[in-house]
Amino acid sequence: MPTRLQDRIALVTGSTAGIGFAIPISTARQIAEDLITEGRVRRAAMGVEARLISPPVAEALKLPVQEGLLIERVTPGGPAEHAGLRGGNREAILGMRRVLLGGDVLTAIDGRALSGQMDLNLALNRKRPGDIVKVEFYRGGQKMDAQVTLTDNGR
């Protein structure tokens, strides 16, 4: 059985036409350096579990912003908790989903707006454990910010 993904795709489809995989060279270098020096890849993390906020959700929950990420949980002892960020403290059902409410609403990291989980992932992928990021968020109706020192995998 072929081991490379492209070889497996070719085996199943009979073709590899138009299939390619690429990552930025800076990412490849960092991954290689981590593997060589530490034997594993280090990823920066804040230690939060967050849910996307869309305008209808924001309206239903009476949130002060139309988009961002609602923090449902923070990792105990993690970077977000050390910076004072809060997760939800009460449960509600929104449509067919259970949602933790009462947490902070993340709106930006280092001045870049967060309109979804991908924005958070991209912001953190550019950082290393130990880096400090400025996080903008709402608590209740008040806009606030905090400095979060990122760690490896949020611990």
pLDDT tens sequence for the chain (155 residues): 555 555 554 555 545 555 566 777 877 888 888 889 888 888 899 999 998 888 888 887 788 898 899 999 999 999 999 999 999 988 888 778 787 888 999 999 999 999 888 899 889 988 999 999 999 999 988 999 999 999 987 55
| CATH code 2.30.42.10 region(s) in the chain | 44-152
Do 119 and 133 form a contact (C-beta atoms < 8 A)? no
pTM over 0.85: no
From residue 75, alpha-carbon distances to 43, 54, 93, 124 in Å are 16, 24, 23, 16
Instruction: Assign a CATH topology to domain 44-152.
Output: Pdz3 Domain (2.30.42)
